[in-house]
Amino acid sequence: MNVQVDWKGGMSFDSVVPSGGQLNFDSEAGPTPMEALLCSLAACTAMDVVLILEKKRQKVTRYRLEIVGERPPKGTYPRPFVTIKVKHLLTGENLDPMAVARAIELSDKKYCSVSMTLRAGVAMTSEWSID
């Protein structure tokens, strides 16, 4: 997967993603990369959970996730997340608690690629050039 990020001035960056969408990051007027990371985790697991519950014939009428990411204090670098807590809040018609718990477990431990990446770490390299 390839993404492209272009600087727009100040602390504003636009990203073009393979699906054709665009993400805008701005540390002053939009989501920061760390906020977007938590949003990506939420969206990834939510999509899994909804799909799994639909397959289990569970009718979800409302679904919200609250994610709390703890980081070292400002002025400390780097500032990676040291803990992340995901809270799933679901409403629906006769939702089976066991089905909900299993759907979340499957997303968390098997299907959500964002979660797996955060848990496992990833080999990363950097390159550069001057045009």
CATH architecture for residues 32-120:
2-Layer Sandwich (3.30)
CATH architecture for residues 1-30:
Single Sheet (2.20)
pLDDT at residue 80, rounded to an integer: 92
Please give the model's pTM, rounded to 2 decimal places: 0.88
Give the count of beta carbons closer than 10 Å to the beta carbon of residue 115.
20
What are the residue boundaries of the structural domains of the chain, listed by start? Answer: 1-30, 32-120
One digit per residue, pLDDT tens: the chain, 131 residues? 888 999 999 999 999 889 988 889 988 888 889 999 999 999 999 999 999 999 999 999 999 999 999 999 999 999 999 999 999 999 999 999 999 999 999 999 999 999 999 988 888 888 988 98
5 and 13 in contact (C-beta within 8 Å)? yes
Burial of 107 per CB tally in 10 Å (0-12, 13-18, 19+): buried
